[in-house]
Amino acid sequence: MLMLLMSNLEDYMLPCLNKKFFGVECMGCGLQRSFSFLIHGEFIAAFKMYPAIYTLVLLCIVVAINTFKPFKFSNKIIIILAILNVAVILGSYAFKILT
C-alpha cells in the first residue's frame, strides 16, 4: 500500500501558481518533487531540486521530537534551524534567479 502511494505521488502534486500566472518561480518551487525524490531514495536529485530539503526535514524531526518529549535547549535549536532554513531557501532562490 505504501509503495502504491509513493509511486503515484507525482499525480497529486500541486502546480506552482506563481510560475503559472507570472512566469517566475517562487521560493518553494521544487519542494514537492524534492520530497518525492527523497522518498524514492534519490538523495542527490532531491538536493539539486530543492537544496533546503534536508534542513527542513531536520527541523521537522526536531519539532516533532520536542512536541512529544521536550528537551533542554530545544527552543534555541529550533530557532537556529529555522534561521538556517531561511538562509538556505533565500540563498538557493537567489542562485536560481541569478543563473
**Where are the domains positioned within the chain?**
25-98
Predicted TM-score (pTM) of this structure: 0.79
Confidence of residue 27 (pLDDT cuts 50, 70, 90): confident
Report percent pLDDT > 70 for the chain. Answer: 92
Q: What are phi and psi of 21, to 5 degrees?
A: -90, -35
At 70, is the secondary structure helix, strand, or coil? coil
Enter the C-alpha cell of residue 64: 516533532
Quote the CA–CA distance of 97 and 23 in Å, as a whole number: 12
